[in-house]
Structure 1
Amino acid sequence: MKYRLATLAAIIAAHAAPVSAATDAITFSGFGTLGAVLTHSDDLQFRRVGVEAPGTQSVDFAPDTVLGVQTNFRLGDSAEAVLQVLSRETPKNTYTPRASLAFLSYSLSPESTLRAGRLRLPTFMLSDSMLISYAHPWVRPPVEVYGLSPFSDLDGIDFFYRRRIKDVDVELHPYLGRSQLDIVQTGHSSLSHLRGLNIGLSSGALTLHAGYARARLDMRWGDPFTSRLLDALQSAPGGEHIIAKMQGSDAATSFTSAGFQWDGERWLLIGEYAARRAAAFANSAYGWHLTVGRHIGPFTPYLKLARTIQTSPIISDQLSAGQPALQRFNASRNGAQRSFGAGLRWDLRHDAAFKMEFARTHTDNDSWGAFFPVHHLTRVSDRTINTLSVSIDVVF
């Protein structure tokens, strides 16, 4: 089984069911994952920041379980409307279905396409297929990279220009718009004045990606700990300056990513680098991952190495020195960690796969990484945590 960047389009095309044999004006498709992650430490829970609410049980189904259905409406030879509805646990602990895609597409020429509406925000190499776990070898994309930007929606417009030059397929993908994200409890975040450009090259088994985006970040925290901290800072000397670093509006933010994928007949190699820089409200950090797999019939065993490193905290070390509450706030927003994982993908049939992955993760000294404490006194930083993840992925 090969996992190319075009997997999303292939899945939709291969599994779309026409309304009648005489027409393919309306097609339907879907995907789903039933996943579970077990954390060996009873006082910690695995979390995907901006994706789901922190769990309360040692076995958590929320981080990876998802169900999505999609309808494509052909509007003549050049136009198409797409609607995708998705249900999964949100940071506010609800499962309310929402429109994850809702856009109009128009082909200006065989090489160029213009789209407008709700699109996928293409921050990373695999953003377009990130929700379809079946398209990837892992149970989930490495959080050390893909956790750097939990924003998934792009409300705006984008443009694709594709051209083949000799043996190389070239794709240019500029985009602009805005994005919104719910945070745990009553928190909310958004990106405005968002604009970016992705460049993709593919030839045979090799795919290359590079991308850059800039935006203005708005942030409002709503969890109980941060709300109490903000209230206390209101009356503290110099508190207003610290609050302005923690939340507010119009902070300059940028994202950079670069990656490659080699998916040959026998070997699979995937690597990616990403960096986030924020003037306020979020820390600045970069991450990378490298995956090596081997195709053996329906099985793909793999090894994965990943790392996230913080380059600057939300509140400077000078301001947070000797202030446990400020240090806790910084650590809880810092995903710095390193991990090593071993996994297996088993293609049960052409439209279903079973996956299992064991990972050993060590959080940095001033970081919670991808974990959340069950009790507020639990130490999360500078710990080694083992996790076991399993999933069944389907497309239809």
Structure 2
Amino acid sequence: MIFRPLQCARVLGLLMLFVAFRATDSAAADAVKPEFSGFATLGAVTTDRDDMWFARYGVNYPGSSDPDFSPDSLLGLQASLRLLADNDVTLQALVMEDGRNSYDPRVTLAFFRQTLAPGLSVRVGRVRAPFFMLSDSLYVNYANPWVRPPVEVYGLNPFNDLDGIDFIYHARIGELDAEIHPYYGRSSIPFPQGKARLEASRGINLVLTQGNFSLHFGHTRAQLKIEYRDPQHVALAADLIAAGLGSVRSELSGGDGRASFDSAGLQWDDGRWQIIGEYVRRRTDRYVTSSSAWYVSVGRRFGAFTPYVSLARQTLDEPVARAVIPPSSAALEADWKAYLTSRNNAQGSITTGGRWDISPTAALKAEFTHARLDRNAWGSYFPRGNAQTTPIGGNTANTLSLSLDVTF
């Protein structure tokens, strides 16, 4: 059973109404103890280029100010309520710029959790999409060492929420603590003049932990639907049909795509040194590229200050589609190459930064990133001005990011 946002709100409303009635009993009233928490980030980013903006594709709208406060700034509130000894409900709302330049609050968590047996629980509703090792802390940036997780890796799958059902099982295997996490659901994200959806997303994660060390493995498959309505796509689609390449046009946008996503990561933290690394691979048969990415980050704590350095790389494995353009269509050939470039986020980067924990609930962060975009790619940037006539592929960019992260 898959829940849409309105359905999630109705289910949680009914559950809380049930709690209100139960609260008339003194024993139940003692058990009802709502817990409230929140988190926020105030971030700013600027680049040394006057021909491109920094962008987090699939997360928010490419900025038009310098410095840009939209990629990282957010405010989140969360409430959890235990109903009985073995179940509870959680609701989380977030204010952050989305892919359509909107700051409308949206529900990012809304689930009912039931303990089924010792170590085994089920959640129904809207849960975090567990595609990455650090998916649970994507919005609570205080929990992460950097200003933001490496965009080369975390930009490959921008779906953060999943409407559906998951199971979480904890077990002890020898000296290892194991978590097995199967899930099923659907997800959607808006972007400028379009929308992307995952349907029938089913996957499983495995996390193994021993002392300071942990390993993560994940795999998911889903149906992929993407609707592009931006001028570049509309014009190219019309030209392809006119040139007798309608079959190619159907590979650029529609509702018949298939995708898979694999991830593997490790963390080691002994209180002084922190090492984090992750590798991911996205495979699709249309609409978006098939790409791979990785990062390695090393940090060293000196009291409240933690400097770190990160290396990251995203590579193109297969373009969105392939087409044989007639030799007589030079203009179409140029438009086709420009389109493929705009859908390619391949780049490499090195980041140096530092985190200062100014209190147990607040941290200041600053980082400098030097990125090189692949020759036929936009990387994690967006051209200023006319995207059709402003080539940025193959360029380098230096980006300075600052953030204040708090929890409360």
TM-score, normalization by structure 1: 0.92
Query: Residue 320 and residue 304 in structure 1: after superposition, are their counterparts in 2 closer, same or farther (change >3 A)?
Result: farther
Deviation at 1:220, TM superposition (A): 0.5
Cross-structure match for 2:218: 211
SS at match of 1:246: coil
Q: Does the 8 Å contact 1:294/1:302 carry over to 2?
A: yes
CA distance in 1, matches of 2:80, 2:176: 29
CA distance in 1, matches of 2:326, 2:175: 54
* Deviation by residue 1:178-204 (Cα, 9 ceiling, x = unmatched): 11111112x011011110000000111
The root-mean-square deviation of aligned C-alpha atoms, in Å, is 1.5
CA distance in 2, matches of 1:142, 1:148: 10
Q: Does the 8 Å contact 2:304/2:357 carry over to 1?
A: yes
| Structure 2: gaps (5+ residues) | 1-28
Cross-structure match for 1:387: 399
- 1:354 alignment partner, one of 361, 364, 383: 364
CA distance in 2, matches of 1:354, 1:63: 17
Deviation at 1:232, TM superposition (A): 3.0
- Spell out structure 1 runs of 4+ moving beyond 6 A: none
Cross-structure match for 1:128: 136
Q: Does the 8 Å contact 1:320/1:327 carry over to 2?
A: no
CA distance in 1, matches of 2:167, 2:288: 29
Structure number with bigger Rg = 2
Q: Which amino acid aligns with 2:158?
A: P
Q: What are the residue-to-residue correspondences of 1:267-306 with 2, within 5 Å?
A: 267-306=273-312
Query: Residue 33 and residue 320 in structure 1: after superposition, are their counterparts in 2 closer, same or farther (change >3 A)?
Result: farther
Deviation at 1:319, TM superposition (A): 4.8
Cross-structure match for 1:18: none
Q: Does the 8 Å contact 1:192/1:217 carry over to 2?
A: yes
TM-score, normalization by structure 2: 0.89
Q: What are the residue-to-residue correspondences of 1:44-123 with 2, within 5 Å?
A: 44-123=52-131
SS at match of 1:60: coil
SS at match of 1:228: helix
Query: Residue 130 and residue 68 in structure 1: after superposition, are their counterparts in 2 closer, same or farther (change >3 A)?
Result: same
- 1:226 alignment partner, one of 223, 233, 239: 233
Deviation at 1:320, TM superposition (A): 9.7
Cross-structure match for 1:8: none
How many residues align structurally?
374
* Structure 1 residue 244 corresponds to structure 2 residue 222: no
Deviation at 1:223, TM superposition (A): 1.9
Q: Which amino acid aligns with 2:133?
A: M
Cross-structure match for 2:4: none
CA distance in 2, matches of 1:319, 1:245: 15
Deviation at 1:318, TM superposition (A): 4.3
Q: Which amino acid aligns with 1:230?
A: A
CA distance in 2, matches of 1:262, 1:44: 36
CA distance in 2, matches of 1:22, 1:345: 41
SS at match of 1:59: coil
Bigger shift: residues 313-322 or 272-281 = 313-322
CA distance in 1, matches of 2:198, 2:106: 19
Q: Which amino acid aligns with 1:218?
A: K
CA distance in 2, matches of 1:29, 1:157: 24
CA distance in 2, matches of 1:166, 1:237: 62
CA distance in 2, matches of 1:394, 1:359: 23
Q: Which amino acid aligns with 1:64?
A: D
CA distance in 2, matches of 1:315, 1:201: 38
Deviation at 1:171, TM superposition (A): 0.4
Q: What are the residue-to-residue correspondences of 1:101-180 with 2, within 5 Å?
A: 101-180=109-188
- 2:320 alignment partner, one of 298, 314, 329: 314
Q: Does the 8 Å contact 2:53/2:64 carry over to 1?
A: yes
Cross-structure match for 2:271: 265
* Structure 1 residue 32 corresponds to structure 2 residue 44: no
SS at match of 1:101: strand
- Sequence identity, in percent? 45
Deviation at 1:60, TM superposition (A): 0.7
